[in-house]
Amino acid sequence: MKDLVIVGGGPAGITAAIYAARKKLDFAMVSIMLGGQAAWSGEIENYTGFQVMTGPELVEKFKEHLEKFKFDNLQGVEVKKIEKADGGFRVVLTKGEPLLGKTVIVASGKRPRMLGVPGENKFRNKGVMICATCDGPMFADKQVAVVGGGNSALDAALQMIRIASKVYLVNVNKELTGDAVMIEKLKSAANLEILNSTKTLEIVGDKFVKALKVEQGGKSRELSVEGVFVEIGLIPNSQVIDFVDKNELGEIEINCAAETSCPGVFAAGDVASVPEKQIIIAAGDGAKACLSAFRYLSRH
């Protein structure tokens, strides 16, 4: 049985692992993909110490730091369930033997929320995309739509106005809700059209996406696009654990020490009930969660 099992490999999980290694804990980290959502980000201008850096560049720095330490690092592995076990907890994986830990840090992040409109599933990865950083270059000099009005949508739009010939920003709300500095940058883009109070109806095409049907002011309209980037928010990956308190959004409830309602289980990053979802906040909460886990182990 390990001292600690860290579920998730984003900024929260990676930082928790660095702190666990420095505390000389016997621990394991399991993740589908190192870097998590941070790897999808475009330009990051608010991570202390780096004026401007892309998400993939920052994740590479995280990996370099992590590689200085030796521990059980299970990558490309999905967690099926976290269960209570004698003396601790059992982390059941979709493949391989379960991991046993005296403590657990849940840093499993969030997954993209989808639109739920006709054509979305049919054209997934055939024009319907969820990562402008990863897939944006495929749409060079083409027309695309970004659906959403928050920071993730604005970030995607900022990336795509440099790549695509035309970008439609389709926002169901009356106004964009992201950071003012990002909105100001977008307003000066000649190849961007912002469609507020606009509902997405259907994604159409043949083998690949050809158009996006929307409704604005009671009138339907068809946007000729080859790419649709869905950026309408995220759902917490908290379904892996069912014996801790969660809020109405499904986020794991934590206190200021990253403690959950179950002693020995801690949570950090976007899966937890922190008020803001930022890379730097996730990293800080990962450090906090590990220090709290270490304190728990010392007292029990």
Residue 293 and residue 106 in contact, taking contact as beta carbons nearer than 8 Å: no
pLDDT-derived band at 38 (thresholds 50, 70, 90) equals confident
Mean pLDDT, residues 60-67: 92
Residue of higher predicted confidence among 64 and 42:
64
Could you report the per-residue pLDDT of 83-139, keeping only the tens digit for each? Answer: 999 999 999 999 899 999 999 999 999 988 999 999 999 999 899 998 887 789 999
Q: Any catalytic annotation for residue 262? A: no
Q: Is the C-alpha dihedral spanning 182, 188, 189, 195 positive or negative? A: positive
User: Rg of the Cα trace of the chain?
Assistant: 21
Residue 172 and residue 199 in contact, taking contact as beta carbons nearer than 8 Å: yes
Q: Which one of the listed residues 3, 72, 86, 135 is annotated catalytic? A: 135
Q: What angle do CA 130, 270, 228 make, to 5 degrees?
A: 10
User: How much is the pLDDT for 236?
Assistant: 96
Does CATH place domain 128-230 in 3.10.20.30?
no
- Residue 257 CA to residue 242 CA, distance in Å, equals 20
Res. 62: pLDDT tops 80? yes
Please tell me the CATH code under which domain 2-112+234-299 is placed. 3.50.50.60
Beta strands in 127-263 (DSSP E): 128-129, 143-147, 166-170, 192-195, 198-205, 209-216, 219-224, 227-230, 234-236
Q: Which one of the listed residues 72, 134, 242, 245 is annotated catalytic? A: 134
pLDDT-derived band at 277 (thresholds 50, 70, 90) equals confident
- Residue 5 CA to residue 228 CA, distance in Å, equals 37
Helix (H) or strand (E) holding 115, with range, is none
Q: Any catalytic annotation for residue 131? A: yes
- Residue 265 CA to residue 12 CA, distance in Å, equals 15
What is the pTM assigned to this prediction? Answer: 0.80
Res. 278: pLDDT tops 90? no
Res. 28: pLDDT tops 90? yes
User: How much is the pLDDT for 160?
Assistant: 97
Burial of 178 (0-12, 13-18, 19+ CB in 10 A): buried
Domain ranges within the chain, ordered by starting residue: 2-112+234-299, 128-230
The domains spanning 2-112+234-299 and 128-230 adopt the same CATH topology: yes
Q: Which one of the listed residues 131, 155, 270, 290 is annotated catalytic? A: 131
Residue 25 and residue 47 in contact, taking contact as beta carbons nearer than 8 Å: no
Could you report the per-residue pLDDT of 221-236, keeping only the tens digit for each? Answer: 999 999 999 999 889 9
- Residue 107 CA to residue 89 CA, distance in Å, equals 15
Q: In the chain, which ranges are continuous DSSP H helix?
A: 11-22, 55-66, 132-135, 151-160, 180-187, 279-299
